Amino acid sequence: MASITIQSITKTFGTVPVLHDIDLSIADGEFVVLVGPSGCGKSTLLRMIAGLEDITGGEIRIDGRRINEVAPKDRDIAMVFQSYALYPHMTVADNMSYSLKLRKTARERIAEAVGAAAGKLGLDPLLERRPKALSGGQRQRVAMGRAIVRHPKAFLFDEPLSNLDARLREQMRAEIKRLHKAIGATSVYVTHDQIEAMTLADRIVAMHGGIIQQVGNPLDLYDRPANLFVAGFIGSPAMNFVDGHCRSGAIETDDGSRIAVPGGIDLAEGQAVTVGIRPEHVRIVAGSGAGSYTARVDLVEPTGFGTIVHVRLLGQDLKIYTLERGAAEVGEPLHIALDGDRLHVFDRETTNRIG
Amino acid sequence: MTRKRIVLTVLHRLAILAYVAFALFPLFWLLKVSVTPTSLLYTEGIRLWPSRASLEHYAFVLTHSSFPTFFLNSTIVSASTAVIVTIVAALAGYAMSRFVFRGKYWIVGLLLLTQMFPLVMLIAPMFKMLSPLGLTNSLTGLVIVYVAFNVPFATFLMQSFFDGIPKDLEDAAMIDGATRFTAFRQIILPLTLPGIAATLGFVFTAAWSELLFALMLISGNQATTFPVGLLSFVSKFSVDFGQMMAAGVLALIPACLFFLLIQRYLVQGLTAGAVKG
């Protein structure tokens, strides 16, 4: 177990910069998820921690020791790859024990460690099989097993669930969380899936364009996204964004509707802003009243548990997520209300949160 | 429907049969002439099998000619060439496949360049270079020349095999505690066995049947390889076809044995299951 400190890390591939001045410290035992769209530099950062990519500038420390120049094998970390990267010519048991053999661990100790890991992951009956005789989920488990046998200082996960089907992904997600609870090892987990990030993380690091956009616990990012990128990335269905200007104490949208400025927010007259409204925070109300809007229903998407309703409002396609079935019919008018304290206001120029 | 299938299958098989017959007929003729007694060779013309077969040519080649020496020489030269080329090509091919380094394009270009010249052009300079070094008329000299000529192509061949192996495997091995070289040896090489077998086979056959350089660089009997030795059956006024063919059949044996040994790797797809298929 160890802490990981990342100080002003930069990375360029040739002349293309991919990471700009990244600072992050990960506490001992913490589960940190790096999340962002593809190309945001999250995998590169993980591979730099692993030692698989050179560090262009800055410093990475594991347990206080600078590891910029340390070979991957001497960093004492384990990594689970998206492709699993199992050694095809070795059995499951050999795959799992390879790292211990390289460390010249005694044979009895190896058998013990492999047995324990296999027990934890339910791999006992598969130990003598080759990877090609395993299903995707089983391969994923072997990859996990290979990481946990040797009790490394930290676990690195590079989109480990991306190749699994939805049901298996859910199951393995819970298993990873349980495993982390049991082992308590420092973990850095890369994913582009915000649900994985939300469910697994102690802390989420949202990245975009090689820059850290926000660091915080999952609900922080959901409740108070620091900028437009995080607001749009976290949450499903995605947040609605409405552009407008501050006009005489309210936000006037481009189609002329007015939204009351939420409390605690100071806006300059004429300031260009974007209002973020989560679909689940749009309320459907019985009749038109003060502060409510009326719109025609455009599209209804039932998801089983809830329903996504699209309406034409505030100059755009506004999504509403409701748990009430039959609350909306296509073509019918719908009355909705916005909760002031659940609105997010962003400066359109800087894209940063206001208030 | 089924009738159409049967007809198609029969046609398919017939086509394969024709192809195989076409490819193997020269070998059959080699065998046929090698067991035909000299007295019958011209009298029986193009009969498919002589009325009386004998092994007299084999006996003669094995006991009264220098062919055993030639075979030994060829085996030494071909095996050494194959092993050295494969080792060098495996390392070079790995570097080409995995590393970005300065001058990579130039090196690839130079490797390609060596494949563009007709070998005949290079015989004179080759001889000039080897002779002061005392490497003409020696098996070592021959091995050096063969290695030099086979490494470029073998490197490309090996590179394509390494390209087919996911980089994640070495990354995983290095994180597991291996150095890059250990990862190469324990993880990547075992997966490249089909490629190594193919390279070994290709280079071995190339060296085994090489005539031009052997003819020009070797003059004494003690360093002669068998392709050159075959020419000794051509005298000024006649060709001893029977003995020549017998020697030819014998020369096939090592190559056949070699491929028998490596064929299991040639057809194996070892990488299955490494990553999600």
Q: What are the structural domain ranges in chain A?
A: 4-233, 240-347
Is B171 close to A85, i.e. CB distance below 8 A?
yes
Q: Which of B172, B182, B190 sits opposite A85 (nearest CB)?
A: B172
Amino acid A258: pLDDT = 83
Please tell me if residue B275 touches chain A, with a CB cutoff of 8 Å: yes
Helical (H) or strand (E) element with A350 = none
The reply to whether domains A4-233 and A240-347 share a CATH topology is no
Res. A219 pLDDT band, cuts 50 70 90? very high
**Contact call for B271 and A88, based on CB within 8 A:** yes
| Alpha-carbon span B44 to B46, nearest angstrom | 6
Neighbours of B115 (CB within 10 A): 10
Domain boundaries, chain B: 1-54, 63-266
Beta-carbon separation of A133 and B273 below 8 A = yes
Sign of CA dihedral A195, A196, A198, A203: negative
Q: Name residue B44's beta-bridge partners.
A: none
Reduced to 3 states (helix: H, G, I; strand: E, B; else coil), residue A250 is strand
Question: What is the distance between the alpha carbons of residues B259 and B252, in angstroms, rounded to a whole number?
Answer: 11
A83: nearest CB among B177, B178, B276: B276
Query: Among A102, A133, A136, whose Cβ lies nearest the Cβ of B176?
Result: A102
Q: In sequence order, what DSSP letters do the residues of chain B get, joined into one string?
A: -HHHHHHHHHHHHHHHHHHHHHHHHHHHHHHHHHTS-HHHHTTSTT-SS-SS---HHHHHHHHHSSHHHHHHHHHHHHHHHHHHHHHHHHHHHHHHHH---TTHHHHHHHHHHHTSS-THHHHHHHHHHHTTTT-TTSHHHHHHHHHHHHHHHHHHHHHHHHHTS-HHHHHHHHHHT--HHHHIIIIIHHHTHHHHHHHHHHHHHHHHT--HHHHHH--SGGG--HHHHHHTTB-SS-B-HHHHHHHHHHHHHHHHHHHHHHHHHHS--TTTTSS--
Angle between helices B167-176 and A42-50 (to 10 degrees): 40
For the domain covering B63-266, report its CATH number: 1.10.3720.10
pLDDT at B218: 83
Specify the pLDDT at position B270: 42
Q: In this structure, are strands A211-216 and A203-208 parallel, antiparallel, or unpaired?
A: antiparallel
pLDDT given for residue B77 in this prediction: 92
Which residue pairs, CB below 8 angstroms and at least 24 apart, start in B261-270?
A: B262/B197, B262/B200, B262/B201, B263/B197, B265/B193, B265/B194, B265/B196, B265/B197, B266/B194, B266/B197, B266/B198, B266/B201, B267/B194, B268/B193, B268/B194, B269/B194, B270/A88, B270/A89, B270/B190, B270/B191, B270/B193, B270/B194
Q: Is the pLDDT of residue B262 over 50?
A: yes
- Report the distance separating Cα A209 and Cα A223, nearest Å: 23
Task: Mark which residues 175-234 of B lie under 8 Å from A by CB.
Answer: 175-179, 182, 187, 190-191
Give me the mean pLDDT over the B98-115 stretch.
88
Mean pLDDT calculated for residue range A314-343: 85
How far, in Å, CA of A75 to CA of A62, rounded? Answer: 8
Nearest one of A12, A14, A37, A30 to A22, comparing CA atoms: A12
Domain A4-233 has CATH 3.40.190.10: no
- Cα A139 to its chain centre, rounded Å, is 23
Nearest to A33 by CA among A176, A140, A143: A176
Q: What is the reported pLDDT for B266?
A: 66
| Whether B168 and A85 lie within 8 Å, measured CB to CB | yes
Distance from CA of B275 to the nearest CA of A (A): 5
Measured between beta carbons, which residues in chain A are less than 8 angstroms from residue B274? 83, 85-88, 131
Closest CB from B166, B177, B182 relative to A83: B166
Q: Rounded mean pLDDT of B44-57?
A: 80
- Where residue A315 falls (left for φ over 0; alpha for ψ -120 to 50; beta otherwise) is left
Mean pLDDT to the nearest integer, A257-263: 82
Q: Which residues in chain A have Cβ-Cβ distances shorter than 8 Å to B195?
A: none
Spell out where A226-332 has E strands: 240-247, 250-253, 258-260, 272-277, 282-285, 292-302, 307-313, 316-322
pLDDT of residue B267: 62
Closest chain A residue to B167 measured between Cα atoms?
Answer: A85
Q: What is the mean pLDDT of chain B?
A: 85
Contact check, Cβ <8 Å, A79/B175? yes
Distance CA A150, CA A105 (A): 10
Q: Which residues of A are less than 8 Å from B276 in CB distance? A: 83-84, 136, 139, 163
Residue pointed to by tokens 């194959």: B82
Q: Between chains, do B171 and A89 touch, taking CB under 8 Å as contact?
A: no
- DSSP summary character for residue A269: T
* Alpha carbons A108 and A105: distance in angstroms, whole number: 8
The alpha-carbon radius of gyration of chain A (Å, integer) is 24
Record: contact B171-A50, CB cut-off 8 A? yes
Query: Cβ separation of A87 and B173 shorter than 8 Å?
Result: yes
Q: Encoding tokens for residue A343?
A: 């609105």
Q: How do residues B140-172 score in pLDDT, each as one tens digit?
A: 989 999 999 899 989 988 998 899 889 999 999
Percentage of residues in chain A with pLDDT exceeding 70? 100
The helix (run of H) or strand (run of E) holding residue A222 is: helix A218-223
Nearest-Cα distance to chain A for B180, in Å, is 9
Given an 8 Å threshold on Cβ–Cβ distance, is B174 in contact with A71? Answer: yes
- The sign of the CA dihedral A286, A287, A289, A292 is positive
Q: Is B169 in the A-facing interface, judged by CB distances under 8 Å?
A: yes
Tokens (6 digits) for A300: 């209804």
In angstroms, what separates the C-alpha of A27 from chain B's closest C-alpha?
21
Interface A-B: count of C-beta contacts within 8 A: 84
Kindly state the tokens that stand for B107: 């090196």
β-pair partners for B95? none
- Per-residue pLDDT, A239: 93
Please return the burial class of A126, using the count of CB atoms within 10 Å of its CB with bins 0-12, 13-18 and 19+.
Answer: buried
pLDDT of residue B276: 40
- Residue A185 near residue A199, CB atoms below 8 Å: no
Inter-chain touch A85–B270, beta carbons under 8 Å: no
**In the predicted structure, residue B269 carries a pLDDT above the cut 60:** no
Angstrom distance (rounded) from CA B153 to CA A146 = 38
> For chain B, what percent of residues have pLDDT higher than 90?
27
Task: Quote the minimal CA–CA distance from B222 to chain A in Å.
Answer: 45
Beta carbons of A313 and A244 less than 8 angstroms apart:
no
Residue B275 has pLDDT above 50, yes or no: no
Residue B274 has pLDDT above 60, yes or no: no
Mean pLDDT value of segment B261-267: 71
Please report, for residues A284, A298, A324, A332, B201, the alpha-carbon distance to residue A289 in angstroms, rounded to integers and kept in the order given. Answer: 12, 22, 21, 18, 86
Fold classified for A240-347: OB fold (Dihydrolipoamide Acetyltransferase, E2P) (2.40.50)
Name which residue leads in pLDDT, A66 or A259: A66
Interface probe, candidates A84, A90, A148, chain B, greatest B C-beta count within 10 A: A84
